[in-house]
Structure 1
Amino acid sequence: MTLRNDATTRELVTWGLLNASRIGILLVLFMPLVVTSSTLFPFIVGKAIYARIMIEVTFGAWVVLVLVAPEHRPKRSWILIAFGVWLVASIIAGYAGVSLQRSLWSTYERMQGIVDLAHWAGFVLVAGSVFRSVNDWKWLLSINLGVSLFASILGLGQNFDIFESNLLGTDARIESTLGNATYIGAYTMVNIFVAVALIALSWRQSKSPTPAQDATPAATSRAARRRRKRSSRLQSQTAQFDWIPFARAFWITAIVIELWTLWLTETRGALIGLGAGAVGFAAVYSIWGKIEQIRKASYVIMGLVIAVLLLFILARATSILDPVIERSTTLSRVATIGPNDESLKGRVTSITAGLKGYVEKPIFGWGPENYLIAWGKHFDAESGVQERFDQAHNKLVEELTTKGAVGLITYL
């Protein structure tokens, strides 16, 4: 009786700690919605503090979980190993850099640094440990998609004067709860890809062959494993609710609204990234993909992107499309991309200064979050650029300058 009670108690404690860890990870995903008007940089400081507190509490619960139930310890993962090596390289670069304090804590304006990176390493460790199955990750990513969808709706609402709040930014471009149109552009771009991946995954699972259709020895063993995993579901198939159509509707809705939001952010880099990513995926899938419908969609995507590229070249070379471009601020911004674009000039100047800084400190760099110091020393004052760059606006150059060759290699 005592042994049975002990086992039951252990199961209850494990269940509680596991779900507490999962809830903590999910709560971190709501960070983009946090805005603290009472702090410096209200769109940044509050988010960082909220995320760090949630990660620390969740990590504490997870540590107790793996002590009580060792089966929930993280499995060996090259992603975790790579993240850990990058974190160690960042720490070494911080100690070898020009300002350890700045490397550790960053600034109120950025709230990054080694301390922040260590928190996100803990987040990845716990998430990979308590969310293990494909269905677990589908739920996790769908909730994250829901948060980004809500942020997009808030931004659209203010853009069309449905409601007004300083907590959603003050620029003509959509800023929403991130306070920066560029951030919203990148955020929606990533989540569009996430939604597309979830749709493709659900389609692939629905099109996978049944055991009777696939009789090869290897497939038979896979089929046997699938039968064992799905036995309980198959036994109650008639009574089970099919949520896939509703999930797909949600994912498609998210894609449409976030594409709309991305367009209204007028973020050229995110739009170019979306097109490049779509073409890359479409090209790979058109060669090695197995689902015919997705392959056909890949051809359509490549055709559309090529058509947009040709239109861009036409707009740059002639004035035929000027009446259309003038009606859209997004198209106007995209059409100005070129050597004379002030934003591009600033970034080129920043990257040049960063590369000069790398040459001076090539092994471990200037230290995380010390890019401003390297930029200030090597900035070309005669370039005419007025903007101050505390970041490179190019992740590879940022890593190379602040963490040297060691940091860039471990990052890649």
Structure 2
Amino acid sequence: MKNLEKACLWLVYLAIGLSLTTPLFMGNGFFFPFITTKVLWFRILVEVMVLAYLVLLALSDAYRPRLNKTTIIFTLFVAWVVLSSALGHSWNISFWGNIERGEGLMLWLHGWAFFVVLASVVRSEKAWKGLFDISLGIAVLISLFAAGQALGLGVLLNTSGSRADATFGNAAFLAAYILFHIAFATYLFMARASKPLRIYYGGLFALFVWVLVATETRGAILGFAAGLATVAALYIWINRGNRRVMRLGLGAIVGLLVVGGGLFLSRNQPWIQNSAKLRRIVNVSFSETTAQTRVATWKAAWKGWTESPRNFIFGVGLENFGDVFDKYFPPTIYQDAGSQVWFDRAHNLIFDRGTTTGIVGLLLYLAFLFYPVYASLKRASQNSVQRHASIVFAGLAVAFLIQDLFVFESITTYAILFFTWAYYASILAASDSERTVAVPRLTGIAMAVIYAAAFIPILWYVNLLPASANRAAAVAGHSNPQEDDFFTVVDRYKRSIEPDTYGRQEYRVQFIDFVGQQLANAGEVIGQVKPVLAYTDEQADEQLMEYPDKTKNYLVAMRNYNYTFAADPKTKIERLNKALSYFPKLQVLSPTRPLIWQEAGYSELYLYRNLVQSNPEEAAKHLENSENYFKKALDLNPAVVESYLNMLMLYANAKQDGKFEPYAAQMRQDAPRYQRLDYLYQFYNMAKNNTSIEWINYFTGEIIQQDPEDINAWIDRALSFAYLGNRKEALAAAERIKSFGGDYIVQADKFIENVNSGYYEKNKPN
């Protein structure tokens, strides 16, 4: 039995150590490679750890779960999250989470088990110091990777822009992780007496601070400064009779204020503006897009959270923030087709926790974060090492909270958080009088046997089967539609969709979008494609049956029918009406989202095009509906250039070009970005494809102002002047075309001859 106990204890420690390597894992063979690999690794390790721990619990009372307030608070929080999710919008999504985040109750249950095992098994300061050292070693590897990115070493993984993100795929996640390791290095610097070790930990502190700056994550840098100020203030308070310590503490606080204030006041100086990193860190403005988007998202979250007493108390359940965001969608964040418009997080701890778990969940989570800080500071006078640790980790808690007001957590954040707060529960905030949970020997044996029997099925259904489907989705997503056979790619997607596991919602969306992109504008399809189209329709329907209150699912289904309505001439009208059948539900789920009004406008416009010859009266109704829907989208946010493109398309299709004039005037005032060349070419091509002479003339003029060497714009501008009867300008444009030389001279002379003869005025296109 002793050998079995030693083996299980060794296995627990091995799993703990390996769990600290979670941030290192990433793999392009997975869908969402920066998250999926880490989530699977962490979950498998925790499941193995729990098996070994339950055997230990059956063998000896020495490993009973410790009943302290930190563990009780965390247990209450997880229990409350289960309740709020059960009462929330979608239990399935709350339980499993999604692939992009890898969270849900599944993560919290694993996190709770991880926390309880650590707090129950790792009970000595020496063991914890060893684990901190292991974590620091891993953080060094990650930091060196990040440093290589920041220094532009091309052999390393590309970063998210100029910001270092190492193996995290997101600079903010790396910054949060680094904050913890700054605290670990600081604590061990104070706890170790060896001078070489102190030099080592001091070097780590400097490296981590450098990496923190390299992430350019302003919230984390602000949190770091607030954490330092907290540490200084606590040293002043605890040593208020010691003038030397008080002077040092006050000096540190003043130094932080001077450095921070100096950087902010110098933000317009060349030495700041010439450094991309400093410029981003220091230039904080509520007028920038990121700040405006954050504030708008928080407002939407607050509206949803306070919508009803039930929402305020219980929340809408884990992973259902998107429902609230959709219902109170802030139209201002939709700027163009590339805008991020699907938010599943508020990017703020208060609103994320409050909206999804209610006020009770929020308070319990904050209590979990800060009760152990309070308890450890109360015990800080017991010995100098614990005093230093309590103060340093209090600073970490403040830093974590501050940075979490601007971002959201990920698997890497949660794993290191649960690890660190288990140290609180085990050592810093532990009470000498705390009890353990009594587990009778037979109960312990039964738990171990039952879990051992369930271990393989849990491993399969929770990790291995989802991993297989995930890899299939990644293979399908990596397909090249220009090179790979269409039906081969479809089969690849089927291999990800058909296994009965979580993640299908996201895989289906990818598949439906793939088919839509391939068939849009393709017209009638060959017979072999029609079964694929029917299968795609089935997937859209199944998606709605499984998740009937998700805005994105209805919009995806609507787009599916809009994109593919022409695939079968016999069902064109039926498919467009099917698309419109989703619109009433979308108006309820997300009434202020411009995209739903645009999509309905497209459906109505396509119906107009297909009925205008056979049933002009019915077509006119669809044209009016399309106009109203496009207007609604424009009214929600007049700064969106695409909305004006839709209005031009509508009126050009209907041969009512003159109706676009007031919108052109509004566009010049409210959407000046239309003057970007890429937008101007879209307007130009739209007008040209619909033979809208007046608007061809207008937009070629705008293009030529920015690119006077665009010969095609000059030719179409000359032609438009000729068709409009403005011979003087047509001839002037022809003379400019001659300056391009070569065959253009001959063509221009022929054009001038036709202009003078009145040819173009007589043959103006209808």
Counterpart-to-counterpart distance in 2, 1:30 and 1:312 = 36
Q: 1:192 aligns with which of 178, 182, 186?
A: 182
Quote the offset at 1:371 in angstroms: 0.8
1:268 equivalenced with 2:218 (yes/no): yes
1:18 equivalenced with 2:9 (yes/no): yes
Counterpart-to-counterpart distance in 2, 1:123 and 1:247 = 30
Q: Normalising by the residue count of structure 1, what TM-score does the alignment of the two structures yield?
A: 0.82
SS in 1 for 2:187: helix
**1:170–1:337 distance in 2 versus 1, CA, 3 Å:** closer
Contact 2:19 2:45 (8 Å CA) reproduced: yes
1:288 equivalenced with 2:238 (yes/no): yes
Counterpart-to-counterpart distance in 2, 1:111 and 1:299 = 43
Correspondences of 1:69-88 after superposition (within 5 Å):
69-88=60-79
Q: 2:280 aligns with which of 296, 312, 333?
A: 333
- Gaps of at least 5 residues in structure 2 are 367-766
- Gaps of at least 5 residues in structure 1 are 1-9, 207-243
**1:382–1:75 distance in 2 versus 1, CA, 3 Å:** closer
Contact 1:347 1:392 (8 Å CA) reproduced: yes
Structure 2 residue aligned with 1:90: 81
Counterpart-to-counterpart distance in 2, 1:59 and 1:306 = 47
Structure 2 residue aligned with 1:351: 298
1:375 equivalenced with 2:329 (yes/no): no
Counterpart-to-counterpart distance in 2, 1:262 and 1:411 = 26
Counterpart-to-counterpart distance in 2, 1:56 and 1:292 = 52
1:178 equivalenced with 2:128 (yes/no): no
Counterpart-to-counterpart distance in 2, 1:150 and 1:12 = 35
Q: 2:260 aligns with which of 299, 309, 320?
A: 309
Structure 2 residue aligned with 1:217: none
Structure 1 residue aligned with 2:364: 410
Counterpart-to-counterpart distance in 1, 2:4 and 2:207 = 41
Out of 298-307 and 367-376, give the one that drifted further: 298-307
Structure 1 residue aligned with 2:48: 57
SS in 1 for 2:163: coil
Quote the offset at 1:296 in angstroms: 5.5
| Partner deviation per Cα, 1:249-280 (whole Å, 9 max, x = no partner) | 33212111111111111111110000011101
**1:405–1:169 distance in 2 versus 1, CA, 3 Å:** same
**1:289–1:18 distance in 2 versus 1, CA, 3 Å:** farther
Correspondences of 1:391-410 after superposition (within 5 Å):
391-410=345-364
Stretches of 4+ aligned residues off by more than 6 angstroms = 290-294
Contact 2:345 2:352 (8 Å CA) reproduced: yes
**1:120–1:298 distance in 2 versus 1, CA, 3 Å:** same
Identity of aligned residues (%): 29
Contact 1:156 1:261 (8 Å CA) reproduced: yes
SS in 2 for 1:337: coil
Counterpart-to-counterpart distance in 2, 1:164 and 1:127 = 38
Correspondences of 1:117-266 after superposition (within 5 Å):
117-162=108-153, 164-166=155-157, 169=159, 171-202=161-192, 244-266=194-216
**1:292–1:143 distance in 2 versus 1, CA, 3 Å:** farther
Counterpart-to-counterpart distance in 2, 1:393 and 1:387 = 13
**1:77–1:307 distance in 2 versus 1, CA, 3 Å:** same
1:390 equivalenced with 2:340 (yes/no): no
Larger Rg: 2
SS in 2 for 1:178: coil
Structure 2 residue aligned with 1:103: 94
Counterpart-to-counterpart distance in 2, 1:288 and 1:133 = 25
**1:294–1:182 distance in 2 versus 1, CA, 3 Å:** farther
Counterpart-to-counterpart distance in 2, 1:381 and 1:329 = 30
| Partner deviation per Cα, 1:188-207 (whole Å, 9 max, x = no partner) | 122112211222334xxx6x
Quote the offset at 1:150 in angstroms: 1.0
